[in-house]
């Protein structure tokens, strides 16, 4: 209870400060009333859902929208606070000067009036994240982008020159609220006509039941050389409370069965060979392995035990921290690793080919797109679905298409 009282006090101070900007540009009492009603409803809804959160039930759509709308007002008001505080950097010293120089002749009106220009500027700037977050909730989370790359490898088997693979990651089926949009994305994946489809983990948020309504959607995925997948940290059911360990175990076994029903060959620290015209490349899949408290079930040595060191290798590993900490240092030389996990934080600024930024970069060194270290590559997929925040702002859901070419890049 104490934490919520502290939360309400802090947000109350923030809101009263931000309201100064709103009050400066209008004297309409009705608008004041609307402002406070919306604020009370959003905060009340947030407190209601999070005060009663249960790990047994997990994170629901209602929790997600409560969080999303809370962010939609919190971030703009923080911007207003910064704008108003910046003005007070000048107003407070001026007020102190008047207090000591004018005394009672100022009749207590020591503070200069807030300048309307500053308030309008702050409101204009704050409107940008407000509109962006609302767009991200209603449109951005299904704004699927197909990102295409051509990657050159001198030791790629000749038969695989021009071989295309599609990677998707972080489906998080429990978050979806529009099955038609998901069907559209599945059709978009099939339109790429890749030779193989590779899924790099987190097909659910917490429980396998979340996937059931979408099995008949995802089983429409088609690729000539099949579909392969690995587990992500959310697939193990670690983030909800189970009545028994057996119930948790059965949940995971059910998830494995549903993945098979979809058509995925789930690689649990295992490998397969993709063969073409008498040549082959190795496909290796590890269970989740991540730093920062995430499950470390991945066993790279076990997964690669049946392949040759000189094989051309594609590794599926959900968390890019695995690539950083173990994969690139391994003697086996994994030519291409495919990961996800970060979602690009579902928030950022990106100009393809020029600039990309997200706060998640402070947590993950490799957080979106292709990186190269020690002659090896990783692609970190931005994710197909979304989690917690029910939207995406600037970092859109991704379908990655990679064409493998033999030789050296001319770029």
Q: In 3D, which of 126, 143, 17 has the Cα closest to residue 72?
A: 126
Q: What residues in the chain have per-residue pLDDT under 50?
A: none
The pLDDT value recorded for residue 112 is 52
Q: How much is the pLDDT for 256?
A: 98
Q: Which CATH superfamily is domain 143-406 in?
A: Metallo-dependent phosphatases (3.60.21.10)
Which pLDDT score is estimated for 94? 64
Q: What pTM was estimated for this model as a whole?
A: 0.90
Residue 81 has what pLDDT?
A: 81
Which DSSP string corresponds to 168-229? E----GGG---HHHHHHHHHHHHHT--SEEEE-S--SSS-GGGGGGGHHHHTT---TT-EEE
- The per-residue pLDDT for range 182-205, each reduced to its tens digit, is 999 999 999 999 999 999 999 999
DSSP run (H or E) holding 270: strand 270-276
Q: Which strand (E) or helix (H) includes residue 147? A: strand 145-153
| Cα 131-184-251 angle, rounded to 5 deg | 95
Share of the chain residues as helix, strand and coil, in percent rounded to the nearest 5? 45, 20, 35
From 86, 92, 71, select the one nearest 21 (Cα to Cα).
86
Query: For position 104, what pLDDT does the model report?
Result: 60
Chain centroid offset of residue 239 CA: 17
pLDDT, position 410: 60
Provide the β-strand partners of residue 313. 282
pLDDT per residue over 51-98, tens digit each? Answer: 777 777 777 888 899 999 999 999 998 888 887 766 666 666 666 666
Predicted pLDDT at 111:
53
> What pLDDT is attached to residue 198?
98
* Residue 18 pLDDT: 83
Determine contact, residues 170/343, Cβ cutoff 8 Å: yes
Residue ranges of the chain that CATH labels 3.60.21.10: 143-406
């Amino acid at each position: 209870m104490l934490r919520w009282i502290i939360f309400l006090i802090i947000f109350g101070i923030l809101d009263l400060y931000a309201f100064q900007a709103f009050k400066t540009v209008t004297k309409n009492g009705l608008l004041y009333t609307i402002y406070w009603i919306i604020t009370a409803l959003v905060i009340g809804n947030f407190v209601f859902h999070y005060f009663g959160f249960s790990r047994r039930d997990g994170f629901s759509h209602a929790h997600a929208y409560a969080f999303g709308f809370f962010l939609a007002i919190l971030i703009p008001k923080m911007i207003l606070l910064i704008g108003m505080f910046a003005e007070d950097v000048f107003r407070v010293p001026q007020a102190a000067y008047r207090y000591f120089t004018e005394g009672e002749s100022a009749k207590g009106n020591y503070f200069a009036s807030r300048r309307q220009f500053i308030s309008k500027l702050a409101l204009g700037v704050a409107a940008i994240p407000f509109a962006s977050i609302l767009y991200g909730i209603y449109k951005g989370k299904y704004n699927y982008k197909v990102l295409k790359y051509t990657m050159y490898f001198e030791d790629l088997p000749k038969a695989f020159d021009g071989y295309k693979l599609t990677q998707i990651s972080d489906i998080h089926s429990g978050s979806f609220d529009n099955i038609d949009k998901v069907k559209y994305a599945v059709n978009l994946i099939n339109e790429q006509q890749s030779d193989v489809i590779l899924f790099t983990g987190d097909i659910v948020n917490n429980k396998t039941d979340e996937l059931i309504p979408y099995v008949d959607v995802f089983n429409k995925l088609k690729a000539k050389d099949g579909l392969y997948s690995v587990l992500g940290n959310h697939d193990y059911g670690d983030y909800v409370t189970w009545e028994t360990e057996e119930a948790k175990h059965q949940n995971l076994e059910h998830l494995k069965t549903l993945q098979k029903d979809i058509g995925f060959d789930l690689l649990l620290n295992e490998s397969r060979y993709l063969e073409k015209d008498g040549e082959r490349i190795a496909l290796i899949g590890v269970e989740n392995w991540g730093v920062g408290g995430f499950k470390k079930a991945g066993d790279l040595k076990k997964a690669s035990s049946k392949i040759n060191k000189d094989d051309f290798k594609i590794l599926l590993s959900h968390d890019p921290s695995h690539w950083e900490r173990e994969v690139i240092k391994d003697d086996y030389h994994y030519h291409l690793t495919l990961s996800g996990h970060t979602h690009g934080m579902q928030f950022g600024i990106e100009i393809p080919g020029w600039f990309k930024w997200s706060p998640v970069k402070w947590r993950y060194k490799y957080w979106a797109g292709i990186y190269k270290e020690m002659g090896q590559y990783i692609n970190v997929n931005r994710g197909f679905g979304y989690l917690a925040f029910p939207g995406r702002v600037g970092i859109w859901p991704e379908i990655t298409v990679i064409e493998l070419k033999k030789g050296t890049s001319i770029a």
